[in-house]
């Protein structure tokens, strides 16, 4: 467990908390570790979450597959990010999506019940943790709104432009690398891969952007 503390120190949840404190908090939250290999499921749609998770290594996808096999990627979870904190509330029901490892991953499980209710005095950092949790879930909330803005774009081109300019902004450069391959990117934007590929090339021909493999560059108009 100790090897993960240096990673945890850099997460938003445990930011500014000393290593010894983190160790005692992990204990208090019943932390356990589990490894997943690529393509393995962490949660499945319809399951009830008892723990929330914090990603120590690798990458996860929040995704959904419908009756007809259409895949949609809702979100990706990168190192240091969490999932399942929205299920701390009572009566929060089953989860609506699958959580699957996009790469070999190491996941910390923390007891979701304890984080809000236990030891308000025993853990001096507990209040701080709750606040950090609140901020994290707020941030995720705002990101969902942003993704909803993306998804409400009508055309493939508009979705691409929204997505790519969001990525450029996030990585603070007009040249950036994305972690999706084309199929995943299409699933993330909820469009057809070939149509998206077509549109990307058209935009390149029009001089709006350039790309090689997963590296994209956006040009000013």
Partner DNA sequence: AAAAGTCGGTTGTATTTACAACAGAAAAGA
Partner DNA sequence: TCTTTTCTGTTGTAAATACAACCGACTTTT
Cβ-contact 32, 109 below 8 angstroms: yes
d(CA 136, CA 131): 9
Question: Cα-flanking dihedrals φ and ψ of residue 115, to 5°?
Answer: -65, -30
d(CA 167, CA 174): 9
CB closer to DNA, 31 vs 160: 160
Q: How far is the CB of 148 from DNA (least distance, A)?
A: 16
Residue 192 CB partners (closer than 8 Å, separation 6+): 156, 186
# residues near its own copies by CB under 8 A? 37
Give which of 87, 32, 21 is closest to 54, Cα–Cα.
32
CB closer to DNA, 120 vs 149: 149
By the rule CB under 8 A, 130 interacts with its own copies: yes
d(CA 152, CA 61): 21
CB closer to DNA, 133 vs 203: 203
Q: How far is the CB of 35 from its own copies (least distance, A)?
A: 26
DSSP state of 40: -
86 binds, among its own copies, DNA, none (CB under 5 to 8 A by kind): its own copies
Binding mask 146-185 for its own copies (x = CB under 8 A): xxxx-xxxx-------------------------------
CB closer to DNA, 155 vs 165: 155
Cβ-contact 122, 68 below 8 angstroms: no
Q: How far is the CB of 120 from its own copies (least distance, A)?
A: 8
Where on the chain is the footprint of DNA (CB under 7 A)?
Answer: 70, 154-157, 181-183, 191-195, 197-201, 211, 213-214
């Amino acid at each position: 467990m100790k090897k993960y503390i240096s990673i945890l120190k850099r997460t938003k949840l445990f930011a500014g908390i000393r290593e010894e404190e983190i160790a005692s908090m992990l204990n208090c939250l019943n932390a356990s570790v589990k490894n997943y290999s690529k393509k393995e499921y962490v949660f499945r749609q319809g399951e009830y979450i008892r723990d929330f998770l914090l990603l120590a290594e690798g990458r996860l996808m929040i995704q959904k597959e419908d009756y007809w096999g259409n895949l949609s990627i809702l979100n990706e979870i990168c190192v240091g990010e969490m999932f399942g904190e929205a299920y701390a509330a009572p009566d929060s029901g089953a989860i609506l999506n699958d959580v699957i490892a996009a790469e070999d991953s190491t996941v910390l499980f923390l007891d979701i019940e304890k984080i809000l209710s236990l030891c308000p005095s025993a853990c001096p950092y507990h209040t701080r943790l709750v606040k950090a949790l609140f901020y994290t879930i707020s941030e995720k909330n705002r990101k969902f709104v942003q993704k909803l803005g993306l998804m409400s774009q009508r055309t493939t081109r508009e979705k691409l432009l929204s997505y790519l300019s969001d990525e450029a902004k996030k990585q603070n450069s007009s040249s950036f690398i994305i972690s999706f391959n084309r199929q995943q990117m299409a699933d993330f934007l909820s469009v057809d891969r070939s149509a998206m590929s077509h549109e990307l090339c058209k935009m390149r021909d029009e001089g709006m952007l350039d790309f090689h493999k997963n590296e994209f560059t956006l040009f000013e108009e």
